[in-house]
Chain A
Amino acid sequence: MKDAQMRATINQKLVETGERERLKELLRTRLIECGWRDQLKAQCKEIVQNKGLEHITVDDLVAEITPKGRALVPDNVKKELLQRIRTFLAQQSSI
């Protein structure tokens, strides 16, 4: 199977079973616990204050914060999520 196709199949499985929602909730919890959410919130505030509320759009903010946000996710959170996805896929015999 091609990569993109595989990706789509996995995504579908995750949505279908509700696992995606569970993972989302877990990720949210972990990111709050490790302070990621607070960090990002503070950075967003800073960006808005620097540029001025009138001169900033959601798109600007997303463009600026996304790479920072990705980089700030702790490795062990990524590892845990990956492990959970692996375990989930191992249980799905049809893929």
Chain B
Amino acid sequence: MSLNGCEHLNSFKAAFGSRSYFIIHSCFVACTSAEARRVKAQSCFCHTCKHRGLRVHACLSCVYFGCYGEKHIQNHAKSKKHNLSVDLNFGTVYCYACKDFVYDKELETLAKRQNKAAAASLAIRRQFAPWEPDQDEIELLRRNPKRRRVSESSHIGLRGLINLGNTCFMNCILQSLTHTPILRDYFLSDQHHCHMTANPQQCLVCEMGRLFQEFYSGVRTPYIPYKLLHLVWTNARHLAGYEQQDAHEFLIAALDVLHRHCQGTNGISYSNSHHCSCIIDQIFTGGLQSDVTCKECNNVSTTIDPIWDISLDLGPGPGTTAATSVASAATVTTATVGDPVGAVLGVASSAASDTSSVANLSPASGYTNSPSNSEPTSLIECLKRFTRPEHLGNSAKIKCSNCHSYQESTKQLTMKKSPIVACFHLKRFEHSTGYHKKISTYVSFPEELDMTPFMSSSRNNSNGYTNQIVRESAISLSCDNKYSLFAVVNHSGTIESGHYTCFIRSHKDQWFKCEDHVITRATAGEVLTSEGYLLFYHKQLLEYA
């Protein structure tokens, strides 16, 4: 496509300039004011059939609008010898002598500027524009002439990982992360700018970037992630050594280190971490709302804590002490301010490097997370149990900020903000005083999950503040909380020794089983009947902020 128009457009421009194009474009294609939009709404119809079709063109030479589909504009062009028209939907110029759309550099620039102004006047933040490579990118493309095409059957992105001695816990997490669509897009579009300029070799985010490069390079031999392992060891000391580790613990530690390296700080706490916009927080951070209701005066105190994953209790209800998963984002929980009851319960951090500063003001344990006796057998049941109002017993009285006395209360957890990637941790490993055991119960989980019932906006509150607006918005937003499963981590064996494998989804619906260096095709059925330990779900729809 050339940007030099055609001879007819050029002679038209030479005679009349680009003024008429500008007028048509700014009045009828991209309006920048309410008045212009009103005029557009009233006058954009075919002058021949009065129809407001999709493809109405405006003659560039005189005041005439006509349907393209019904050939009204073509007839006009023929009879009046007016060869040029403007499509009122897109602002493109059509030449009837050339029988084609023509593109002129000057008019294109004009249209682009006008489109931008029109979007701004409607507060549309991000308007789509096709990618136009800049000078550097053109040079890169020229130097790398090989193009790789991704088809339904291509295996690009699949690569085994060598086990470096009991490192299957790491391999399965790395497989899950490299197949997280939005994280992949981030790394493959080269969006990470290293903050550790003094020592870029120490940056785990850069190393992740290299891992993505390796995965998508097309090489089929297994990859040896020794540098990554070493970086994790040096940054999360408790995972160092060749012992078997917990995959969940590794995930949280990896996310924590990645999050810290995105900031360029080395574990130094920063005050603004509550509003962190690093890629890890953008993708994994959700908001967990905790509502504590005083039994005496029904005063509700609400706190919202950032979380990276949701840990769900298995096994029979009472007796299990609740260590809700606030733990995961422990580095961030420190900033919970204005929290009279200190609802940050059970902050038992596995990954946090600065746990010392975690505000653990409240009686941390002693309440049960589940009033029911039955063992949950599905993810939905686990989530129901997780978001159920629970009675904080006599032994866990909390000082009510309203009636200023220690009272019994109920507490309910809901999701205030759903993360882009929701990671569910089924607590199969039970560490109670005196014994450790693994719960191998089968817990079913769906391929598609709707989180709407567990959102704070759907909270069925007996204190009467659920008004209609809240409920209505919950319904209209319901498609925003739909998730698809894309990775499952499994553990086989006992609590003392076992093996981790994982299933990952490639393309839209192809499943693969990753067992260290071996990757085999799997069916959705196998995935859904497996004994899941960590479940990764991805949002189906993204809102662009």
A residues with a Cβ closer than 8 A to B are 7-8, 11-13, 15-18, 21-22, 25, 28-29, 32-33, 57-59, 76, 80, 83, 87
Contacts and interface: CB of A to CB of B under 8 A. Distances in A.
Interface stretch (B116-124, B193-201, B275-283): B116-124
Contacts of B124: 21-22, 25
Nearest to A33: B542
A15 B37 contact: yes
A58 B41 contact: no
Contacts of B12: none
A12 B38 CA distance: 8
Interface string B91-105: 000000001110000
B37 A16 contact: yes
Nearest to B101: A58
B184 interface: no
22 contacts: A12-B42, A15-B37, A15-B41, A15-B44, A16-B34, A16-B38, A16-B40, A16-B41, A18-B31, A18-B121, A21-B119, A21-B122, A25-B128, A28-B128, A57-B99, A58-B100, A58-B101, A59-B99, A76-B479, A80-B479, A83-B476, A87-B476
Nearest to A86: B476
Q: Is the interface of B mostly helix, strand, loop or mixed?
A: mixed
Contact of A17 (B37, B119, B476): B37
Of residues B34, B37, B101, B124, which shows the largest number of chain A Cβ atoms within 10 Å of its Cβ?
B37
Nearest to A13: B41
B21 to A, nearest CB: 19
A17 B124 CA distance: 13
Of residues A8, A15, A83, which shows the largest number of chain B Cβ atoms within 10 Å of its Cβ?
A15
A57 B74 CA distance: 15
B486 to A, nearest CB: 15
B52 interface: yes
A17 B479 CA distance: 25
Given A11-B52, A15-B40, A17-B37, A22 B100 contact: no
Nearest to B69: A62
B41 A18 contact: no
Contacts of B41: 11-13, 15-16
B542 A22 contact: no
Contacts of B100: 57-58
Contacts of A33: 541-542
